[in-house]
Each structure stands twice: as C-alpha cells, then as structure tokens.
Amino acid sequence: MKIKIFLSGIIIALIFSISGCGDSDKELKKNAKDFADKVCRNIEIIQKLRATNPADSLSIQKLQEERQRVDSEMMVLSNEFKKKYGDKVKNPEFIKEYRKFLNESMLDCKFLSKEDRANFERELKKVDSAK
C-alpha cells in the first residue's frame, strides 16, 4: 500500500513539476523510460528494505543510502526535464502522451505489485481510449 501511495505521488509530482513537451515522441519516451527505471529501482530497494532483518543495520544503511542516491537521481531527471521542455506542460495532450509513455515503461518493472501493475494497466487503457 505504501508503494502505491509512493508511486502515485511520484507520478503526480512529476507530471505537475515537469515543464514541457519534447521535440519528438522518441525523446519523450526515453525521458519517461529513464524516470520509470528510477522509480522501479526505488521500489526494488523498498522491497529489499522490508525483507531485511532489522538487526542487520549494515544492510539497512546501505539500502537507505542507495535509496537516497536514487531519489537524488530522480530529482536530477525531473529538473533536466523541466529545463528541456519549457512551458508545454500546460498542454493536456502533452500530459496524456507523457503519462502513456510513463505507464508503458512502468509495466516493464518486475518489482510492481499486482495491484500497482493493474493500476498502471488501467491508466494506460484510459489514456488509449481517450484518443
């Protein structure tokens, strides 16, 4: 459940924090895939943290450091995205296209729960049916 809330928050924050549309679908897909890869990595780390013995402080510390690093990388990607695409984020068609690419990319994540995967599939169908 925490992962679902986390993913929803990340996606919503990214959509509202990004500022624009790309020169091509190919570049926008790449940006979505790069961000989705970081989100997926974050999910993997969270799952490993949950599975780690609480007494194993060294492993927990390493995983927490890795999570902080991935969070920083996600922030860098988000900031680069803002600079790259400008004011086009206000365009609803851009948001739909980006969400589609992001949802497609997230479906490649092998660490998604069944519920999260179903949510991404549902969102993808929603975007596809809106065309």
Give the residue from 25, 121, 35, 114 showing the smallest Cα distance to 129. 121
Q: Which of 37, 85, 95, 46 is nearest to 66 (CA)?
A: 46
Q: Look up the pTM and report it.
A: 0.77
Which pLDDT tens digit goes with each residue over 90-128? 778 887 888 899 999 999 999 999 999 999 899 888 877
d(CA 107, CA 114): 11
- Would you list the domain boundaries of the chain? 2-129
Q: How does pLDDT run across 19-72, given as a tens digit for each residue?
A: 444 446 899 999 999 999 999 999 999 999 999 999 999 999 999 999 999 999
Q: How many CB atoms lie within 10 A of CB 45?
A: 21
